[in-house]
Amino acid sequence: MKTKVFNITIMVILAAAGLMFLLYPSKSLSIAVLVLGAGMILLGIIIGVSYLVKKEKEKKDLVSLIFGGVLIVLGIVDIIIQDTVISIFPTIAGILVALGGVAGLVQSIRQKNKGKDWKYMAAVSVTSVILGVIMFIRGFDKETILRVLGAALLYLGIIGSVNAMEEKPSEPSAPASPAAPTGEPWS
């Protein structure tokens, strides 16, 4: 049940962000860049603190500590050079949309191999790759990209919320039963 509430909450946040990008694209981008920077700093701090509070017996992963530090630095840089981040947004967005499309294609192939419906996912993924490439080569201005992004987030948020609400809780697995006696004295 907690996962369902979490998923619905995330989807509502996506839908709200999408609506903001649709209605107020430029202002939303400025806010999103600041939130992204603050989020990276917060996540970096959480990763660093969790590394430091681990006991010696627990396995400490130095890579996670370095990753946390990198996130903090990137978050600070993101906030300091916000105008630069905003100016390269179309390129970054194009790369991310294209990569998302490629990931969707991989997922649709997995769906096909499982015998599930895959054609819609593949069509949307191919469209995402094409849009990502166009965005990367700056075929759209920033406002148009933000509105398309807003529409996509709104769509994903609504569809994801509906799917999460319809999701049935998984049934707990039955405990393993002890081996049945065979009746033989030496078993």
- Closest residue by Cα to residue 14 from 131, 163, 158: 158
Give domain status of residue 108, yes or no: yes
125 with 134: CB under 8 angstroms?
A: no
Q: What span, in angstroms and rounded, lies between the C-alpha atoms of 171 and 30?
A: 44
Give domain status of residue 127, yes or no: yes
Give domain status of residue 93, yes or no: yes
Give domain status of residue 40, yes or no: no
Give the domain extent around 93: 88-136
Q: Provide the residue-wise pLDDT of the chain in tens; the chain has 187 residues.
A: 677 788 788 888 888 888 998 999 888 888 988 988 898 999 999 988 888 888 766 666 778 889 889 999 999 999 999 888 888 877 887 888 888 888 888 888 988 888 888 888 888 889 888 888 887 887 677 788 788 888 888 888 888 788 778 766 655 554 544 444 455 444 4
Number of domains in the chain: 1
